[in-house]
Amino acid sequence: MNEKPDFSKNANMASTAPAFLSVWDMHSYYGESYIVQGVSFNVHEGEILALLGRNGAGKTSTLRSIARVSDPEVRHGEIWLDHKPLHKMTSYEAAAAGLGLVPEDRRIIPGLTVEENLQLAQIAPPVGWSLERLYELFPRLGERRKQEGITLSGGEQQMLSIARALARDIKVLLLDEPYEGLAPVIVDEIEKTLLHVKQQGMTTIIVEQNAVRALELADRAIILDTGSIVFDGAASEVLENPQLREEYLAI
Ligand SMILES: Nc1ncnc2c1ncn2[C@@H]1O[C@H](COP(=O)(O)OP(=O)(O)OP(=O)(O)O)[C@@H](O)[C@H]1O
Ligand SMILES: [Mg+2]
């Protein structure tokens, strides 16, 4: 059986409790461009982690590296999910191991209804949330189940994208800018849903430009700056620290 890496010497590791998701000394490249420059962090089961930082800091690249998407290429480091070595997996295998990436562009499949988009995610077992449960979580999707997915409003498409991830049996939800372009009232609705999903035990990493909203939702926060972690601690600590807010988040 594979053993978890020993993080005891890593200064970024605040907690000694065994982590659910562990990223250890991850370095990623787009061709020759060196982007994720030795990132290490832990996420505990049931936690919401906000991954923050300015434009181009490497947030999306970090999420994509964890999800094992082909670009960027992870050339060094280890990623463990519930004792499984994601760093040795393809993106398909990582998805099967329980990673649910909700990309920034939402990827709703044209020509399919809301329900067909969800059913497509449920083709491969093990199936996650049932349609009934998903429609309970997102009543707007239930009302529009026969509507073509790409004709939904931006907020509804975001809901469908999250619902589609939950339709698979995932352990970690990776959200890239879920609030982008959405009205505050829709952000409220999605936030409420994410809290409900957390109550069901889900572990979540949220990348957001809307740092205050993400920090209000999250238990912990990591701030990235040019591909390195400059802060790892309680979300409330960032909200209360004007220097961090100004220097790395411009809020
Ligand atoms: N496909 C790519 N090829 C080359 N460089 C890339 C590619 N994608 C991203 N980069 C570069 O990697 C760096 C980090 O980009 P990334 O998208 O991870 O940042 P981000 O923190 O998500 O930014 P934003 O807040 O704007 O979404 C940037 O300098 C970007 O130009
Ligand atoms: Mg990004």
Q: Can you list the alpha helix ranges (DSSP code H) found in the chain?
A: 59-66, 91-96, 114-121, 131-137, 139-143, 154-167, 184-199, 211-217, 235-239, 242-244
**Predicted confidence band of residue 251 (pLDDT cuts 50, 70, 90):** confident
Q: What is the CATH number of domain 48-61+99-248?
A: 3.40.50.300
207-240 per-position pLDDT tens digit: 999 999 999 999 999 999 999 999 999 999 999 9
109-145 per-position pLDDT tens digit: 999 999 999 999 999 889 999 999 999 999 999 999 9
Q: Which residue puts its alpha carbon closest to atom 7 of ligand 1?
A: 30
How far is ligand 1, taken at its centre, from the CA of residue 58, in Å?
6
pTM of the model: 0.93
Q: Which residue puts its alpha carbon closest to atom 16 of ligand 1?
A: 58
How far is ligand 1, taken at its centre, from the CA of residue 190, in Å?
25
How far is ligand 2, taken at its centre, from the CA of residue 2, in Å?
32
- Report in angstroms the alpha-carbon separations of 204 from 46, 50, 67, 86, 226: 7, 8, 13, 17, 23
How far is ligand 1, taken at its centre, from the CA of residue 57, in Å?
7
Nearest bound ligand to CA 72? 1
| Neighbouring residues of 91: CB distance < 8 A, sequence distance ≥ 6 | 67, 68, 69, 70
pLDDT exceeds cutoff 70 at 3: no
Domain ranges of the chain: 48-61+99-248
Confirm if 50 and 209 have CB atoms less than 8 A apart: no
| Distance between start and end Cα atoms, the chain | 46
Q: Which residue puts its alpha carbon closest to atom 30 of ligand 1?
A: 56
Kindly state the tokens that stand for 66.
């964890």
Tell me which residue of 54, 155, 166, 194 sits closest to 101, measured CA to CA: 166
Return the pLDDT at 17: 56
Nearest bound ligand to CA 224? 1
**The one-letter amino acid at 7:** F
Cis peptide before 110 (omega within 30 of 0): no
Instruction: For residue 102, list its beta bridge partners.
Output: 175
The continuous run of DSSP H or E covering 68 comes out as none
In percent, how much of the chain has pLDDT > 90?
90
Confirm if 217 and 210 have CB atoms less than 8 A apart: no
Nearest atom in ligand 1 to 62's CA: 18
DSSP state of 148: B
Q: Which residues line ligand 1 (CB under 6 A)?
A: 30, 33, 35, 53, 55-61, 71, 209
Nearest bound ligand to CA 69? 1
75-101 per-position pLDDT tens digit: 999 999 999 999 999 999 999 999 999
- Report in angstroms the alpha-carbon separations of 47 from 21, 27, 142, 167, 235: 10, 24, 28, 20, 11
**3 state SS of 135:** helix
Instruction: For residue 232, list its beta bridge partners.
Output: 222
Q: Which residue puts its alpha carbon closest to atom 17 of ligand 1?
A: 60
4-40 per-position pLDDT tens digit: 444 444 444 444 556 899 999 999 999 999 999 999 9
How far is ligand 1, taken at its centre, from the CA of residue 143, in Å?
37
